[in-house]
């Protein structure tokens, strides 16, 4: 039992006494070293994050203490000390310091506090803006290490710190004794939330910041971030609640979020108060305390933050003031994020509308494409296209209009239309580029456009290539050798000179050759240096095996996974298979209208008739069933017309079902939950495909996608 002096009846230090004693030791060392501050960072159970738990020093400690440092972030000395399992000392003279929390010169020493073979905490000392140029001496490092070793044996210290959701601050002016600055923890959390929200772009970032910097520091086990749309409420992000909460729109009166515009928030400290609050059962289940904080835009409520506690929680005046202040910060970030998400969605929709709706299926060319938008909301000018040309030729095109705005996208649309028109007249790639350049000059185009055109003669087995300032195609032979077009064969971009005449070169294609067209955004996503990035793509193209979709996925993996891309990236792959009339290699096509009620019957009849005619009647039952499942799924969930392509290979048949919806299908497990099953009916068809097909997959197809399956010869 506590005797009032921080010691229980048996003489064991209380948690508070352990924390205060550790703070005194750290502050004494700060004065001895002439440092600015010291902090103990705890390591989480997964050893992925370092979080400040105890901070001492001058008032500047509030501004130089980083929060939630990743153990793999080598910009931070405490992270490198954790990785190396030893003391680390670093000097940040100024320019390097601007990359992280402290924007001015400083020195730091970080010492792991070991627990068996791994640190459970890191002790740091920081010297900020020293008046004279100094270094950390060996004696300084020994003092830091001795302090860390002494604190490591402080009884009950780490247990007490782990139970405190916010870092404890003990501040003092130079030479004075420390004082417990409990309110500073609230200021620290406000600063870290403000910092996180200032870097937030979309709603996902805002939700993450509220969970990490507001809900968890307050001790809340549950959090729901909701938008108010008229008289309805939508849960846009949550933690601790069932996932189903993000599905429906709820009536404001039914959820208890029909909030008056007071700016105060509603605080329920007991389970009885929660039950009487009017919160819907889905929101209040399991809660014994809650805070409902309105998000305001002027006098209009645009949303709310719900913090839920599984134990009774008294809200002090300081905590209430802090939570309302935090909600004000979230409100401003919320509006910015909504505008960003809306503009990005508009830009991406415009970009997708300018891409080809579908890629044609050609007898002797396997074709696939990939497109990635830039991470910003700007509209890019990258594009690709595939044309079915007269005389059994196919046109492969890729290009890039200068800039990242609506004007670039509009110019891209003009160029694509011009190239399609001139190609349809029967002109070769060089003449198509020459005529397009003249047209753009007449239209007064004011920005450059690069373009690569490849005309594939599927009968002769040749590729005619012309480029206007665009990277030439990479061509992989059947022996996996990769070669590129010589740079001297690439002409200037379109709109550089009015009377430019472009030249073409011709290469021979053999069975198994693969042609890769791309934009420079894909190259730079692999490496900032163009030559290095191009070499990496060439290496991936040379070593990648399997279906064309698999090769495209491997080449684009780094671009797709990049968190931030400054430019759009496009890739178009064509695999050449020369005509073998004695072996088959035939392809037929069926268009299904989205409103065709007889579609399943037509699909079954089409597949059976074609397979019987080709001598594949023994596989028609499986092919009919699987093709019908895929076409039905596309009609129901993509809300578009559907193209079915049936292709014969020497040893297998392949069925491609193409629609305009880019969202990939996912096989769904069979459950006994009625609600889930109603949402997952379309996934059952894929389970059938997975069970019966020799192989199956999915791939982008222009603006939409293709889901395909193959059946081997019996």
Q: What is the 3-state secondary structure (H, E, C) of 150-193?
A: HHHCCCCHHHHHHCCCCCEEEECCCCCCCEECHHHHHHHHHHHH
> What is the C-alpha to C-alpha distance for residues 166 and 185, in angstroms, rounded to an integer?
6
Total Cβ atoms within 10 A of residue 318: 12
Q: What is the pLDDT of residue 313?
A: 92
On whether the CB atoms of residues 105 and 92 are closer than 8 A, the answer is: yes
Q: What is the pLDDT of residue 270?
A: 92
Q: What is the pLDDT of residue 380?
A: 61
Q: What is the pLDDT of residue 700?
A: 63
> What is the C-alpha to C-alpha distance for residues 644 and 629, in angstroms, rounded to an integer?
12
Q: Count Cα atoms within 13 angstroms, Cβ side, for 194.
A: 13
- Beta pairing partners, 121: 42, 113
> What is the C-alpha to C-alpha distance for residues 108 and 102, in angstroms, rounded to an integer?
11
- In which residue ranges of the chain is pLDDT below 50? 1-7, 9, 95-99, 174-175, 247, 260-262, 563-564, 579-584, 668-683
Domains in the chain with CATH codes: 15-180 (3.30.450.40), 189-349 (3.30.450.40), 355-576 (3.60.40.10), 587-712 (3.30.565.10)
Q: Is 699 left (phi over 0), alpha (psi -120 to 50) or beta?
A: beta
Total Cβ atoms within 10 A of residue 47: 13
Question: Mapping DSSP to helix (H, G, I), strand (E, B) and coil, where does residue 42 land?
Answer: strand
Structure tokens at 697: 């997959």
> What is the C-alpha to C-alpha distance for residues 42 and 122, in angstroms, rounded to an integer?
7
> What is the C-alpha to C-alpha distance for residues 574 and 396, in angstroms, rounded to an integer?
8
**How many residues are present in the chain?**
714
Q: What is the pLDDT of residue 96?
A: 44
What digits encode the pLDDT tens for the residues 585-623?
A: 577 888 888 888 788 899 999 999 999 999 898 999 999
Q: Is 275 left (phi over 0), alpha (psi -120 to 50) or beta?
A: alpha
């Amino acid at each position: 039992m506590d005797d009032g002096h921080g010691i229980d009846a048996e003489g064991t230090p209380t948690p508070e006494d352990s924390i205060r004693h550790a703070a005194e030791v750290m502050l004494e060392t700060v004065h001895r070293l002439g440092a600015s501050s010291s902090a103990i960072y705890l390591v989480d159970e997964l050893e992925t994050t370092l979080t400040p738990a105890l901070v001492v020093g001058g008032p500047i400690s509030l501004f130089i203490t980083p929060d939630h440092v990743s153990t793999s972030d080598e910009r931070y000395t405490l992270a490198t000390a954790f990785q190396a399992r030893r003391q680390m000392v670093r000097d940040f003279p100024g320019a390097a310091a601007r990359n992280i929390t402290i924007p001015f010169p400083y020195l730091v020493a970080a010492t792991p506090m070991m627990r068996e073979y791994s640190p459970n905490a890191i002790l740091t000392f920081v010297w900020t803006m020293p008046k004279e140029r100094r270094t950390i001496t060996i004696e300084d490092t020994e003092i830091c290490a001795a302090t860390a070793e002494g604190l490591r044996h402080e009884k009950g210290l780490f247990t007490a710190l782990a139970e405190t959701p916010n870092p404890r601050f003990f501040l003092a002016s130079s030479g004075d004794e420390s004082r417990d600055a409990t309110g500073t923890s609230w200021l620290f959390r406000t600063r870290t939330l403000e910092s996180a929200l200032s870097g937030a772009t979309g709603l996902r970032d805002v939700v993450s910041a509220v969970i990490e910097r507001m809900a968890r520091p307050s001790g809340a086990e549950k959090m729901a971030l909701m938008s108010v749309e008229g008289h309805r409420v939508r849960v846009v992000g949550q933690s601790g609640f069932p996932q189903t909460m993000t599905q429906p729109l709820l009536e404001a009166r039914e959820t208890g979020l029909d909030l008056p515009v007071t700016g105060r928030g509603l605080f329920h400290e007991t389970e009885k108060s929660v039950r009487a609050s009017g919160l819907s059962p889905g929101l209040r289940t399991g809660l014994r305390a809650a805070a409902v904080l309105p998000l305001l835009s002027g006098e209009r409520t645009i949303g709310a933050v719900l913090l839920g506690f599984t134990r009774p929680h008294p809200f002090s005046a300081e905590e209430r003031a802090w939570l309302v202040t935090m909600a004000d910060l979230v409100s401003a970030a919320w509006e910015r994020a909504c505008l960003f998400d809306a503009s990005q969605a508009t830009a991406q929709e415009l970009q997708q509308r300018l891409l080809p709706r579908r890629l044609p299926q050609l007898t002797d060319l396997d074709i696939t494409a990939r497109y990635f938008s830039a991470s910003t909301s700007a509209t890019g000018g990258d594009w690709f296209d595939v044309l079915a040309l007269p005389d059994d030729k196919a046109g492969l095109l890729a290009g890039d209009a200068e800039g990242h705005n609506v004007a670039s996208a509009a110019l891209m649309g003009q160029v694509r239309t011009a190239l399609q028109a001139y190609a349809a007249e029967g002109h070769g790639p060089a003449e198509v580029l020459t005529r397009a350049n003249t047209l753009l000059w007449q239209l007064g185009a004011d920005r450059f456009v690069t373009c690569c055109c490849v005309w594939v003669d599927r009968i002769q087995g040749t590729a005619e290539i012309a480029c206007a300032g665009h990277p030439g195609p990479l061509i992989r032979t059947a022996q996996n050798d990769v070669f590129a077009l010589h740079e001297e064969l690439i002409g200037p971009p379109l709109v550089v000179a009015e009377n430019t005449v472009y030249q073409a070169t011709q290469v021979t294609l053999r069975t198994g050759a693969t042609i890769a067209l791309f934009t420079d955004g894909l190259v730079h996503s692999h490496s900032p240096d163009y030559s290095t990035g191009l070499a990496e793509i060439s290496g991936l193209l040379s070593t990648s095996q399997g279906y064309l979709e698999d090769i495209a996925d491997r080449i684009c993996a780094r671009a797709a996974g990049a968190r931030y891309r400054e430019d759009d990236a496009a890739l178009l792959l064509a695999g050449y298979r020369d005509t073998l009339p004695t072996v088959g290699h035939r392809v037929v096509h069926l268009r299904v209208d989205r409103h065709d009620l007889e579609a399943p019957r037509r699909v079954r009849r089409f597949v059976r008739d074609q397979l019987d005619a080709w001598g594949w009647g023994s596989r028609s039952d499986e092919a009919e069933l699987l093709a019908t499942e895929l076409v039905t799924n596309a009609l129901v969930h993509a809300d578009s017309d559907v193209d079915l392509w049936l292709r014969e290979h020497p040893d297998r048949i392949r069925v491609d079902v193409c629609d305009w919806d880019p969202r990939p299908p996912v096989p769904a497990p069979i459950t006994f939950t009625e609600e889930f099953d109603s949402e997952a009916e379309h996934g059952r068809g894929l389970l059938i495909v997975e069970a019966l097909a020799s192989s199956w997959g999915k791939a982008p197809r222009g603006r939409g996608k293709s889901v395909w399956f193959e059946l081997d010869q019996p």
